[in-house]
Amino acid sequence: MRQFNFKSRIRPALWTATAAFLLATAACTDNDNNNKEEEVIKTFKLNVKLEYPDGYAPQRDVNVRLRRSNADDVNEAKTDSAGVAVFTVIAGIYEATAAETRSVNGYLSILNGVKSSIEVTDAYKNGDTISVSVPLTASKTSQLVIKELYIGGCENTNSDNSVTNFYQDKYVILYNNSNAPVSLSNLTLAITVPLLSASKNEADKIDGKLFYESEGWVPAGYGLWTIQNSPSLDPYKQIVIAINCAVDNTKTYSQSINFANPEYYACHDLEVWNDVKNYTVSELIPSEHYLKAYLIGQGSSWPIGQLSPAFFVFIPEGITPEAIAAETSYSNYYNNNTQSAAQHRKKIPTEWVLDAIEVFKSGEQNSNKRLTPAVDAGSVKLTNAKGYTLYRNVDKAATEAIAENAGKLVYSYSLGTADIENGSTDPSGIDAEASLKNGAKIIYKDTNNSTNDFHQRAKASLRD
């Protein structure tokens, strides 16, 4: 919803080749110094077994990804019929993730899992086998997905050549990823507490695992934004929601976004969040397109950050967003700090969440997950203040399978950022925006795993 100098490239055989090289090198003796001890670099076999929930049997050829802590490349291996993937590793601390999609009873079921802090030490003997298990959590996909999240802002060069970064032009695009209309009634935007991935959220962990995962909810902090009325979104169509400054920002910042469009929606409720600097709105956007705010914490604005928020959208069942904000039975306080309004959170049931994206700051060490595997088992990195955006990858096979798309799809996608440090691109090679303008119907990848589903795009799609 990465090992040794990560450039968003998968290097499946790198660890094995590197280990073989190190062993060969270490096995050489110094002929000029026969007393020098031989140095041996140990390698180990790591068996990663996927543990399936009730009702699901293991499947062969499920992709398992293994990342070493503070390293960049990712090693991949396929499972056997028992659900076991085998890796050759050197000493280190690893994280294993897996995602699988199955069609069950008319629903698309997503199986996600992550196992962190897998410790392999030199205390083991060379060639030893270590076995670990990765519990998988099942969830169902929704029709609605986050197509794009633009939060990092842009830079503006002034007449004196000084640079001013502008961050008040955030937006999200939601997309109907199905062939049937979807109701947006009570659709709600939310962010987690802690706000930043750099926060050491140890207060939320028991034995290294987010405690609310087993309780079936994710935390929403500060407040909620909800679409008013009951609009419907047609198949393969999108809705643009300006989170801040829903005006033509390009008049002041040429690299920013123009939101002066009557089809757009805007987060705008000055009775709750009255920071006019963040919540100006174009007269072209009708008032029925304003989202309603419901306060949870405190402050004059909704603090979705430009660095590393964990953002999600949900539709509540059997209760309104207004009632959730007011109802104490949904309340939770980070670190049990009931005296701080900023630590006040609401428990949003996992089954209400339609989509989510966990953002890590580019170059940040030791980022921390805030969303559970059932909501988003991965993460995507963002370099801020460059006009970059987080854009969902295309499901190549599903999109090409639509007969009407023949001759309409545009390939040779060139707006990825795989050429920069911590950059990424869409592996499908399909230029989604160009294809949409060509009349194609795009189906976006949705595995509830941001690592697989998103990439960093060099330019916001609203500027194409």
Closest CA to 378 of 395, 358, 393: 358
The confidence score (pLDDT) of residue 185 equals 92
Amino acid (one-letter) located at 243: I
The confidence score (pLDDT) of residue 103 equals 54
Superfamily classification of domain 14-140 = Carboxypeptidase-like, regulatory domain (2.60.40.1120)
Q: How many CB atoms lie within 10 A of CB 270?
A: 13
Chain centroid, CA 275 distance in Å? 28
Contact yes or no for 313/187 (Cβ under 8 A): yes
Domain boundary assignment for the chain: 14-140, 144-463
Contact yes or no for 241/265 (Cβ under 8 A): yes
Q: What is the pLDDT along the chain (464 residues), one digit of tens a residue?
A: 433 333 333 444 444 444 443 444 344 444 444 444 456 788 999 999 999 999 899 999 999 999 998 777 789 999 999 999 999 999 999 999 999 977 543 345 789 999 989 999 988 888 899 999 999 998 777 889 999 999 999 988 766 777 789 999 999 999 999 888 888 999 999 999 999 999 989 999 999 899 999 999 999 999 999 999 989 999 999 999 999 999 999 999 999 999 999 999 999 999 999 999 999 999 999 999 999 999 998 889 999 999 999 999 999 999 999 999 999 999 999 999 999 999 999 999 999 999 999 999 999 989 999 999 999 999 999 999 999 999 999 999 999 999 999 999 999 999 999 999 999 999 999 999 999 999 999 999 999 999 999 999 999 999 99
Chain centroid, CA 303 distance in Å? 18
Burial of 25 (0-12, 13-18, 19+ CB in 10 A): exposed
